[in-house]
Chains A and B, each alone.
Chain A
Amino acid sequence: MDLISENLLTILILLPAFGALAVLGHSLYWKDDGHLKWITLGFTVVAFLISLLLLTGTPGSNGFFFEKNIPWIQAIGTNYHVGVDGLSLWLVLLTTFIMPIAVLSSWHAVEKRPAAFYVFLLLLQSAMIGVFVSLDLLVFYLFFEASLVPMFFLIGIWGGENRIYATVKFFIFTAFGSLLMLVGIIALYYLHLEATGAGTFDLLTLLATLEAGKLTFAAPVGTLLFLAFAISFAIKVPVFPFHTWLPDAHTEAPTAGSVILAAVLLKMGTYGLMRFNFPLFPEASRELAPIFIVLAIIGIIYGALVAMVQPDMKRLVAYSSVAHMGFVILGMFSFTEWGMQGALYQMLNHGISTGALFLLVGFIYERRHTRAISEYGGISSVMPLYATFFVFTTMSSIGLPFLNGFVGEFLIMVGMWKSTILSVTDSANWNYIATMAAGTGVIFAAVYLLWMVQRIFFGKLTNEKNRGLKDLTYREIGLMVPLLFLMVYMGVYPKPFLERSRDTVVAIQERVMRQAGGTVDHDEHTAKAK
């Protein structure tokens, strides 16, 4: 047991990779594709169960638990340094939770080269977990890049008709961002080398040096470094105007790909901002926050408006992702405990709700092989259970109170409302105006999602092809139930989630705000009250 808990994160990274080997070996040796999905499912389920052990951890003095720091390439001072804290804990769990669901979602859908499909799926999982637990910039970068490749193939081989275009676009966008980040990482290495005489890629060492004041960034350098990271992450999120790869990638990806893309891959961007950008470059974070806030608000409204007029279900959900991730960005850059906690919570919520929406679209696509909204209408009469699940998930995505989306969005908006980051002038409360503008996204979400629901499910069943549609199978119900359960649970009782992330988030927030001479303003209102 000790062996497991000591190397828990390493096991979580390697287990899926071993799974990939097992799949490969099985398919080469027995030439039998029937068992591959079971093997994959087995590995992902075991990984999920093991990952639950993360909840037993208690943070060490630096806030991390299950930390492991082994020298790797000593010459350049890069270590295999992994650990989880309140920020990454839930994202790792989200990853391990969503993977079995993704596997089950493509239970019958993969006909072409199943072995390769499952290998990529499992490798993707290794990379994703690696991203969330790496505390060494170089190791992080490798995982970050590594996660691209399986997704690239998943879309490129098992995607829809337009898959090549989508893949290339996906790759151009993300590769461009990654290279910028690589430059940033290397620059950091040399700056640290200059300042202290030893180069390092280790995040915690870098932070400690910055904290001690031994390393400071000259005027444009901090901002440029911030941008090198931030653009890379912004593309991943995606922040407007870097979002146009997302609808194409989502639309062309197979269901499992879309689910993972929405649930986990997008979160790497927002996670990266919080993990690296904010602590490393607090001044630049504050300085550039207004730009990101404006982009987030544009994204919220823009994504919603464009989602409204999409004729394709998946494209609609993809654009809704742009809007929802806009909220996450907004909350993070408010630099208040409410906003940042809300942003983190919203990452999880978006993973669950949008993941569920893609699953649901996948279900109907498998039956009718079309995602055009106009092909449907009135199908609640033939698929009542499906309609119920769909409406439920829609409500969660719209942010109905007591479902998960509300708590996140609400905290984000409270955070923005109370944020001091925009108080450039005294003439107007820009933070109020920003929140009010972002708040309209809540209205639009209802418009585009309910309009889709209305056109797909209600009214008369006009298209004869839909008359024979079968309602959900037990497998599909089984996939949805855990997601629906979480939607309710997280909406009604967010405490366990928020409690565990609190210290980490507050530490980041204080780090960003403190150096401005700005105080941390939990209790500002009570002070005002007295």
Chain B
Amino acid sequence: MIENNLLAIIIFAPLVGAVINWLVGGRLRNEMFSGVVACGSIAISAIVAFYLAFVADGGALFIDKPVLSHIWTWIDVGGFRADFALGMDRLSAIYVCFITFVGFFIHVFATGYMHGDNGFYRFFAYLNLFMFAMLVLVLADNYLLMFVGWEGVGLCSYLLIGYYTNQDEPRRAAKKAFVMNRIGDWGVLMGIFLIFTLTGSISFYDKSVDGVQVHSVFTWVLENISVAEPFTWGAIIAGGLTSIGVLLFIGATGKSAQIPLLTWLPDAMAGPTPVSALIHAATMVTAGVYLVVRSNAIYQLSPTAMWIIAVVGAATAIFAATIAIAQNDIKKVLAYSTVSQLGFMFLAAGVGAFVVAIFHVMTHAFFKALLFLGSGSVIHGMHHEQDMRKMGNLKKYMPITFITMATGWLAIAGIPIFSGFFSKDEILYKTFAADKYFQGGYFPGNEILWIVAVITAVLTAIYMTRMMIMTFWGKERFHDALPGEEHHDDHTHDDGHTSSHDDDHHHALPHDFKPHESPWVMTVPLIVLAFLSTVGGLIGIPYAMSSLPVVSSIVSKNANHFEHALEPVIAEIETPTAIKARENAASHSPEAVSTERWLALLSTVLAVVGIGIGFALFRNNPLRKMPKILEEKWRLDDLYNGYIVDPLTRLSTNTLWKGFDVGFIDGIVNGIGSFISETSSYMRGIQGGFIRGYAAMIILGALCILGYFVYFGIRLIG
């Protein structure tokens, strides 16, 4: 057991930053101060995180044992033990590194983006608090503490989505996000109960605290369960590992916006753009993937749960991609794109490619944070206009933003060399070959999932190209009126665009308006992220590509450093099919390698084709009319409101409250009451009608009864 108390600094630095900003920053109201405190605390976190991951004790990323730190015992009741204790193993190390790194640059970007906002200190206090919760989530050494972070990020997300408190849409979106997350949290809680019941522990690691040996959930599973659960629907409700898997995944659908709990994420774009980049693209929404990968020992033994994850992931991916194609708000496109990409990650996890899922989490964090920050830069330069129909030809005015966003675009579309290519291509391949690598053996329907994923990949290229064209190419449409919008100089439009800082910004763009490039605090993070989006994928080049003659002359054959780093995190399940799957993966058989190469070629072609389609469709007609149903998001919100929210409200109001409470129970009580009052009206002579009088009479009566019994008792004994 390696202990290192430096771990605590990683989580507490942002917390201290949040408190300072709240208490001191609120008084000083100095942007310089708040910005330095916020960014500085994240910088400290990041430095310590990288130090622990790469240097201290041999580097958490390279050693096999987790680095632990016990802070205090939180709950210890009757054998149930939840410590406030941190642990950094390879999985946490990767997460912590990219969270603090990307987080730092988003913080820097935000100091520019939020400049002039009068809640500046409050914004950064929330943002730091979020970092605290997120780091607790990934550093927690047990399920319950992870749940603390899990709920904590939900809270901060709530606070930050609703940051523009004086507007309607953010407050609704914030509540919706919290509630939908809560629905998922129910699943996590129940999953934790079942884990505790089954294994007698909720800890991630074997450790000893205060002389007590605490065993890891996963060790227990590996030692006690040697047969995978059956691949049947019945396994879901059998109360075993599959049940745990499904319950935890319910939580993941909430946090990571998968079907059916996905509608909150696009609405969450009502928050400030750096928040969308940090929370709703790079970090928080990938917590669901973290949970699944963290619990991989459980999932590998429950093929049913895995299958559900893969299917839900693929379905979400294509569902969100179709919507993204028809959105006009630049942030909405990116939001649906995020949902879609998260679907890819779950697809990967579902077919057993846990490492690839995490790889995509990381590359996605780079390019999606980049795209969101780029959109933030655009919005900033456009004086808080988010509608792409009013943009166009911005590359002329915002060259840095254009170039950096273009790398993000190529990365997400899956052009080779760019980071998204490697991770997405791996996912497609693992899905295609799921029958070979899936720990549960045969994987029904993987071909269909692969086709869905391929179509989604093409759609991704199309909608991203559309977004780039509408924003950066074509003719300038700053002064054009939108359909149905009158054109005045100072016309206020109420069509639901709400991301302006305050009402004064909320005007149509004036005649002499020229977009401008953003200041360096915003462009530098863009450049850094663009660099990572370009080369970040190179740490995980799959064998099939690194073994290509041309490539292997540059990098070594085993260039998939990412996979090697994460391998120990994936439990080695001793079922025959899992052993077979591992053997298949390790052998690099020539057929497999050549299949993978052909598929990689195919997906490259598809990416190019997708971009081509995008240009063909939108280059000359950027405002092309899209199908109504897509623009209206398949009317999923209407469905939820009409079939769940409204009936429940009506039931509560009419049946439960006014029917049962007021009608039935109070009816009985009032009946008794009026009976008493009618009876007493006969005795009006002795009653004054004052409430005091009634009370006195009742007390007197009670005393009489009491007196009678006391007297009776005395007589009996005497």
Contacts of A222 in B (CB 8 A): none
Q: Chain B residue with minimal CB distance to A494?
A: B75
Interface residue A168 (Cβ < 8 Å from any Cβ of B): yes
Check if B695 sits within 8 Å of A436, measured CB to CB: no
Given A169-B669, A442-B189, residue A337 in contact with residue B179 (CB < 8 A): no
Check if A380 sits within 8 Å of B165, measured CB to CB: yes
Contacts of B151 in A (CB 8 A): 400-401, 406
B32-74 residues with Cβ-Cβ distance < 8 A to A are 72-74
SS of A interface (majority): helix
Check if B179 sits within 8 Å of A447, measured CB to CB: yes
Given A75-B718, A306-B656, A432-B239, residue A454 in contact with residue B172 (CB < 8 A): yes
For A75, A411, A454, the residue with the greatest tally of chain B CB atoms inside 10 Å of its CB is A454
Contacts of B694 in A (CB 8 A): 168
CB proximity of A192 to chain B, nearest CB, Å: 12
Expressed in whole angstroms, the Cα–Cα distance for A401 and B215 within the complex equals 24
Given A76-B717, A149-B699, A454-B174, residue A168 in contact with residue B673 (CB < 8 A): yes
Q: Chain A residue with minimal CB distance to B181?
A: A446
CB proximity of A336 to chain B, nearest CB, Å: 7
Contacts of B158 in A (CB 8 A): 450
Contacts of B80 in A (CB 8 A): 338, 411, 414
Check if B75 sits within 8 Å of A402, measured CB to CB: no
Given A182-B705, A495-B73, residue A309 in contact with residue B672 (CB < 8 A): no
Check if B691 sits within 8 Å of A454, measured CB to CB: no
Check if A440 sits within 8 Å of B179, measured CB to CB: no
Q: Which of A95-103, A121-129, A171-179 contacts B (4 or more CB under 8 A)?
A: A171-179
Expressed in whole angstroms, the Cα–Cα distance for A395 and B666 within the complex equals 32
Given A168-B673, A418-B197, residue A413 in contact with residue B189 (CB < 8 A): yes
Interface residue B535 (Cβ < 8 Å from any Cβ of A): no
Expressed in whole angstroms, the Cα–Cα distance for A207 and B165 within the complex equals 58
Expressed in whole angstroms, the Cα–Cα distance for A173 and B669 within the complex equals 8
CB proximity of A515 to chain B, nearest CB, Å: 20
Expressed in whole angstroms, the Cα–Cα distance for A439 and B194 within the complex equals 13
Contacts of B148 in A (CB 8 A): 401-402
B646-704 residues with Cβ-Cβ distance < 8 A to A are 648-649, 651-653, 656-657, 660-662, 665-666, 669, 672-673, 676, 691-692, 694-695, 698-699, 702
Check if A451 sits within 8 Å of B175, measured CB to CB: yes
Interface residue A475 (Cβ < 8 Å from any Cβ of B): no
Expressed in whole angstroms, the Cα–Cα distance for A244 and B165 within the complex equals 35
SS of B interface (majority): helix
Interface residue B162 (Cβ < 8 Å from any Cβ of A): yes
Interface residue B171 (Cβ < 8 Å from any Cβ of A): yes
Interface string of B144-167 (1 = CB under 8 A from A): 100110011001001000100111
CB proximity of B23 to chain A, nearest CB, Å: 12
Interface residue B183 (Cβ < 8 Å from any Cβ of A): yes
Contacts of A167 in B (CB 8 A): 691
Which single member of B72, B73, B171, B691 contacts A164 (CB below 8 Å)? Answer: B691
Contacts of A75 in B (CB 8 A): 713-714, 717-718
Interface residue B79 (Cβ < 8 Å from any Cβ of A): yes
Given A172-B672, A189-B713, residue A443 in contact with residue B182 (CB < 8 A): yes
Given contacts A244-B661, A411-B80, 12 further A-B contacts (CB under 8 A): A156-B692, A169-B666, A179-B702, A186-B709, A186-B713, A305-B656, A338-B80, A414-B80, A418-B193, A435-B193, A457-B165, A498-B75
Residues of B participating in the A interface, judged by any CB pair closer than 8 Å: 72-80, 84, 144, 147-148, 151-152, 155, 158, 162, 165-168, 170-172, 174-175, 178-179, 182-183, 185-186, 189-190, 193-194, 196-197, 199-200, 215, 220, 224, 239, 648-649, 651-653, 656-657, 660-662, 665-666, 669, 672-673, 676, 691-692, 694-695, 698-699, 702, 705-706, 709-710, 713-714, 717-718
> Please, could you name 27 A-B residue pairs with CB atoms under 8 Å apart, sorted by A?
A73-B710, A156-B691, A156-B692, A169-B673, A172-B672, A175-B698, A302-B656, A306-B652, A308-B652, A309-B652, A309-B657, A395-B155, A401-B152, A406-B151, A411-B75, A414-B193, A414-B196, A417-B197, A440-B186, A446-B182, A450-B175, A454-B162, A454-B171, A493-B72, A494-B75, A522-B79, A525-B196
